[in-house]
Amino acid sequence: MIRSELLVCFLLGALTVPGFAPFYLFPIPLATLALLCHFWRNSARPRAAGLLGFSFGMGMFSAGVTWLYISLHDFGAMPMPVAVLALIFLCGYLALFPAMTGWTLKKLDIAPPIVWALAAGSLWALSDWLRSVLFTGFPWLTLGYSQAPLSPLAGFAPIIGVYGVSLLVVLSAALLCLLVQKKFRKPLYFLPLLTLWLFGLGLQQIHWTEPEGEPVTVSLLQGNIPQDMKWREDQLISSMENYTRLALQSDSRLIITPEISIPLYRNEVSPIYLAQLAAHARRNNGDILVGLVEAPGGRSEYYNSMFSFGTSPEQSYRKYHLVPFGEFIPLKPVFGWIINVLKIPLSDFSRGALGQQPMNIAGQRVAVNICYEDVFGEEIIQQLPQATLLANVSNDAWFGRSIGPRQHLQISQMRALETGRYMVRATNTGVTAIIDERGRVLQEAEIFTTTALHGTAQGFAGATPYVRFGNSLILGLCGILLGLAVLSAFRETRKKR
């Protein structure tokens, strides 16, 4: 293999990142993936195709998740060489998935071109899904997110979810690859591509869910507490007063603070403080959600939780999907030493239950998800279709002034598309926003400012196909398409004998 091809694929991977937020240039991944498919088709053997895929993945993840260095080094106090090595190791692991896609696809290279294109999309979608489940999952930069909310392919999200959109992106790229090659320049490849995108436009006109009741007024509080100050005892009173001031200035029925907005255990917070917030919420005929640490059985176990106070009975939600190495240490006998390297408070949270139900507050049934949890669509739908509104609370201060918070916003936009629900986001430093059921950002607060975003959110009822079936539709489709590819490759092999 020519080394220049590996370098080109690395650059193509890096150039894919502007397809995601904050740039939202959704056609770019189509072009970069089409070129990758071209290299895969012309590679000599599966090993070469695998290396090309690995190089592409290293470029994409190295450019797309560099904000993790800020989390590890700037705020986690990990020494620079160790943080760089950790980031290289993570990117190398993530790059294995496009490498496996390339290797397997080359094995099916003898299948008819249209079947090969379908196999390319299916293999990439499966690799994106597999990356979301192995070792608790890291589905960041799943290719389908690049299409939310503007691309016609986003119209498929309420049916087959983000992994289905990944399939369609790579399928489109593979068809483009075949179109530009002289021997494959046939309507057979142009018509499916055109039909796919036109059908996506048509699907965007469908309303899968319907409004329920009157819109609710919301205030999303953005405390803008610097990450290196958040857990300092001398800053605690200032932080609490900050959120009290923002809350008392709101006349909304639903007031939401970010994740662990008050860095205390629930039983350590003054009852007078919480009573003041609850009384104000009752005056608004509503409720306030407050982020706290919950330790029901003493400090031997504790949860990242949200509590409601106000007109409705007090309710709580415990975070289920924890961040590896940030909120818990996996395989402690192997990785326990990391606790001594990372300076992260409360790095061993307990896990809440998966089947928690929406909170009945402020006249809505609110499905709360905390920070990283909104990356996992099939977990979000555990609270649907009962929920009328989605609420994400987060502390993206860990990402610093990087593209990370905007990428996280786009993930929330995809969740709104998949579920046909508004998503309201209350974050410490941004991006605090109100997203409608079409994945469009209606309002957002300026990042790194102390403010409250006031607006309205419409509750919705009903269920999209994705809410009903989750990822089973796309996984089943991938299985059928790959079975077809294997059968076609087998028949082609027999013909050549």
**Residues belonging to the active site:** 259, 319, 371
Between helix 46-64 and helix 3-16 the angle, nearest 10°, is 40
Element (H, E) at 321: none
Closest CA to 457 of 428, 416, 427: 416
Q: How many Å apart are CA 35 and CA 175, to the nearest integer?
A: 11
Cβ atoms of 450 and 242 closer than 8 Å: yes
| 287-294 sheet: strands from edge to edge | 316-318, 303-310, 287-294, 254-256, 216-222, 451-457
Cβ atoms of 217 and 429 closer than 8 Å: no
Closest CA to 373 of 411, 430, 427, 345: 411
What is the distance, to the nearest Å, from the Cα of residue 372 to the centroid of all Cα atoms in its chain? 7
Q: How many Å apart are CA 121 and CA 435, to the nearest integer?
A: 29
Which DSSP symbol is given to 478?
H
Q: How many Å apart are CA 411 and CA 46, to the nearest integer?
A: 33
What is the distance, to the nearest Å, from the Cα of residue 368 to the centroid of all Cα atoms in its chain? 15
Residue 123 has φ and ψ, to the nearest 5°, of -65, -40
**CA torsion, points 489, 492, 496, 497, in degrees to nearest 10?**
70
Contacts 24+ apart (CB under 8 A), 36-42: 36/9, 36/12, 36/102, 36/173, 37/120, 37/170, 37/173, 37/174, 37/176, 37/177, 38/177, 38/180, 38/181, 39/5, 39/8, 39/9, 40/102, 40/105, 40/106, 40/120, 41/109, 41/177, 41/181
What is residue 30's three-state secondary structure? helix
What is residue 228's three-state secondary structure? helix
Per-state percent for the chain, helix, strand, coil, to nearest 5: 55, 15, 30
Closest CA to 305 of 3, 465, 313, 315: 315
Residue 347 has φ and ψ, to the nearest 5°, of -100, 20
